[in-house]
Structure formats: structure tokens, C-alpha cells
Chains A and B, each alone.
Chain A
Amino acid sequence: MPLKAVILIGGPQKGTRFRPLSFEVPKPLFPVAGVPMVQHHIEACAKVPGMKEILLMGFYQPNEALSRFLVSAQQEFKVPIRYLQEYAALGTGGGIYHFRDQILSGGAEAFFVLNADVCSEFPLQEMLEFRQQHGDMHSFVILGTTANRTQALNYGCIVANASTQEVQHYVEKPSTFVSEIINCGIYLFTPAIFQHIGEVFQRNQQELALEENSNGWQRAEVIRLEQDVFTALAGSGKLYVYKTDGFWSQIKSAGSAIYASRLYLNQYSKSHPERLAQNKPGGPVIRGNVYIHPTASIDSTAVLGPNVSIGEGVTVGAGVRVRESIVLHGASLHDHTCVLNTIVGWDSTIGRWARVEGTPSDPNPNDPYAKIDSETLFRDGRLTPSITILGCSVTIPAEVVILNSIVLPHKELSRSYKNQIILALPAPSCHSSPGYLCTICCLQLPGRSWPISKTWEL
């Protein structure tokens, strides 16, 4: 059966919780367990028999990183991959509706839609088989998983018939408890979905026409699959949920990138052990699951892991300890440094004996259904302890401690910092007056206060 897959990758205004890491590279290309986030999706899709084409859909402007990635991914996975650029942010349903002809071209009988910012086992084949058993060739399937009662409220909640698995009720982020089964952001559709999306589009247009002073910002084409389509389809006999116990997590913040890396590295240890580093004579000490890019240079007295990803061209000096961290390409860790729960940005340097440490935000290990929290940046006026992030080209001097802090790109620190956001100096090419951060390279600041006040969101 001819199939396609659409991976929704969003755009620059989305994924703001992933800053400052997303300043350098679009979030969907951020490396998780050593490879770009969406590469895991592509690998899973390419494995499904009958996959004709993978379409990445989003509203990023064409850029070099994306183009290069598409070329190399096509070569590696031997399946056509294209980027379809939405002319505006059209929502999770608007994009696929706009490009419906492209998706259906070549006679696709069904297609998967996957959100780029999730990490998963991608049981795509199982979803196809499930549909055959429980529904029919016209049924749509949502991948669901179990959350605990409190955290379920942060997701799309699905109520399903216990025997038929038909979705009876769907609510996106309810304020009271509805169901522990949550929407994983991975769907299996048939061409019939476009009829339902089209109906939403029509309704939107009618509503907008009725409004006297439409402000021009709203578009009828912005359609949200979850709120607009699934809610309506629930109880109609067309929508089903396939529940999985496999690993799954959203990747909204930097902390969840480290958690997702752990999940994928764990998967490698079972399915692709050759991708993980091994202990060997003359090599560094490896504990647990560690990914090391072949071009990285690691001293034999370093101790790495568990859950460490070392990127291209990274150098790790003598007696370095890295644990639960991602070290991005070109970074350099000098002798005796200790890096824990941290993302070290591209081309950053950490001086001798420095300690760079964050606080993990992992889900409760005693609760099998706990999910990673997306913490707000501030709580009670203080920065919530979180993963330490060094942006690109940051320099950490020798012998300091950087704890629970976020260092924006190109900053050269001169002392220790704890529980702080350290802003970059304005780049001369894109700022208008000293002391302000321009809107191109930076973040929205409330008013003009310095330092940052409480409700600031990255």
C-alpha cells in the first residue's frame, strides 16, 4: 500500500522554550542522541514498507542547515524527502490541508502525520496493523499513551471505548480530569481527513465573514487538528486510538532534550548497539549509554556517561567527567572539568577545573506514567533550577562554577554564576541602542528593565 509521512516541524516563532539553542539551528535539527531530532522520525518512517515519500512541513525560511540535512537524510535512508514551506503558521491542520495535493500525489492511500518535537519508539507498522484489525481502510488512528492523572491535563486527552478503541471524546488540555490516555502527536490518516479539515475551513471563513472588524491577523486557513478536528470527530466512529507502552516524550525545553537523548540511547543499546561507545584500552571510561561522534577527540583518562552525547569535532581533555549532558559540535572541555546535566553549545570552551552543572527535570522514576514537566522559567520570582545551557561560542574560564544557569551565545564569562540567565552583549550589526537586545537575535523583554524581571519567557 503506498504510504507517505508528513513531519510537522513548525517555524521560528514556535519552539521558543528551546531558546537559546534554537538561535543557531532550527529546533527540529537539534541533535538528540547524536543525530538531528527529526532524523529519528525519518528513520522510523523509512522503515515502513510502502513508504513513498517523506514531507517535512513548516514555516522556516529555506536555510542551509535544513537543505544540507535533507540531502544527507535522503542519501542515508533512500527515500525521497522534501520540505514544504507554509506561507504562514497554519496550525497543525492548516498546513497539511494546504498541501493536500502534494500529500496525495502518487496515489497515497494513507499517510502518517508526526510532530517533530516528540521522541518516540514510532510504532508505525503497529498502527497500520491496528487499523486493519479495529477499524477499516477509512479510519483514522491517533497514537496514545498513558500519563498520570495530574500531568494528563497538559496534553490532549482521549476517552476511548475499552473494546473497540474508538475515540468517544477528545479534549485538548482540559482543566479538569478527563482521561489518562494522552495524544502523542503521531497520527495515521487517509485522504478522507481533508474533507473534515475542509469543513473546519468553511466554518472559519463563515465566522470571519460575519465579524465586522476582522483585524487581518486571523486567517481561515489556520486549523488546529486537535481542537478543531479531533474534538469534532470523537464519537463519530471514524477516529481510533492505538495505545502504546513504548517510550514517548515531548521535547519542549532543553531539559527534555537530555531526557529524550537518554530514551533514544537506551533504544540504541537494544536495536543499534554499534552506535554506542564501548570501553576499550586506550579509550575513555564509558559508563552506561554514550554516543561519541567519530571525529571527537577524547582523552583516555576522561570518564563519560551515563547518557552523554558528544558531537562532531569535540575535544575532551584529561580527567574530564561528563554525565547526563549533550556536548555540541566543536566544543572543547579542558582538563579536569566536570559537566553534569548541561548542554554545551557549539564551539564553546570550558576552562580547566571548571564545574558546569544543571538540575535535571526528569519525570518521577517511581511513576511509570510520569512525563517530563515543562516547567516555567520562573517560579515565585526566582529562576527554577534547571538544565544549564551554554549557547554557541560561550567561553567559561578556568576554575569557576556555573550552576543552573543559561548563558546566551558568544558570552565570555569572567566569574562563577548560579541560578542566572546571562545575556549576550548586543551584536553591533543588529542593535539600535546600547543596553537593549534587538528583536532579530533575541528575546522579548517586558518593558525596558535590566536585569530581567519575573515573567520573562525564553
Chain B
Amino acid sequence: MSDPLFPDGTCTQQHAVKNRYQTEIFNMAETHSLQDMRQQAAVAAKVFVQRDYTSGTMCQFQTKFPSELETKIDKQQFEETIRTLNNLYAEAEKLGSQSFIEGCLACLTAYTVFLCMETHYEKVLKKIAKYIQEQNDKIYAPRGLLLTDPIERGLRVIEITIYEDRSFTR
């Protein structure tokens, strides 16, 4: 019977399984992405960044730095992320000529055009998803954090999951 994770291993490896397993996982994490490591980490807390309604019903998030993240990430970095997200959402909801033309075209075709075309908002949502993934990979994952795309929470909150700092390798 081979060790499922270490196929080239012998029977003797299975005896010291518990301690080795964790170390091996973290070593493997170096070859995979840091998100792998996080699979083994515990969720310590979740922070919710609420919506900011001061400019109306537009989708904007509060840039206030949550106290739970003080030890984890740089304030500037965090605010930069939120500000970029806010700008992206503002772009999605912008009343420009593009949205106007889209609206008129939709009306003229009795709204059947949306069966074949993606709306401007959806295109920007994809951009946002890419940006969040990029931020997670570059900035938040190495610090044991994970940003959740707000669209998965109904655009109510940005959920930031804080993972327990159990890593031996950082």
C-alpha cells in the first residue's frame, strides 16, 4: 500500500504520518500556490466591510480600516484595494453614453438583445473578479487573508477571511 500523497514512499513513511503530513503539506505549498496552504489552515475570523451609502445607492464600500486587520496588512494597501474596487463598481454603474445606447437598443429590440449580448455591468463584474483574484494571489494570500467577491454576498459586504497563522513556511 502506497502512501496516497507520496506515491514513491515506502511503508515506513506511514508510521510517522501525523507530523510529517503537516510538514509535507506546507512544503508542498511552496510548489503549489499559497492558497493550498490555506486549505489546511483554520478560519480564525471574518471581517465584513460594509457598504458606504453616502453617495446614494451606488455600490461603494467603506474604506475604513477594520481593527482586526491591523496586525495583518498595511492600511494603505487595504485602502488601495477598496478604492480600486469602488472605482470599478462606479464604472459599472456609470451613466454614460454606452449605457444609454445599450438601454435604447434594448428597448427597441423589446429587450431581446440581452439574450445574445453581455451587459456593460457584467463585463465590469468580470474585471472585478479578476482584480480580486489578483489581489488575493499577490497581497492577501501571503498574509493569510482571503477576499471574497462581493457579488457572492449580494453586493452587501466584502468578506475578508482571516486564517490562523499556523504556517511554518512564509
Do these two chains interact?
A: no
A residues in contact (CB < 8 Å) with B: none
Q: Which residues of B are interface residues toward A (Cβ below 8 A)?
A: none
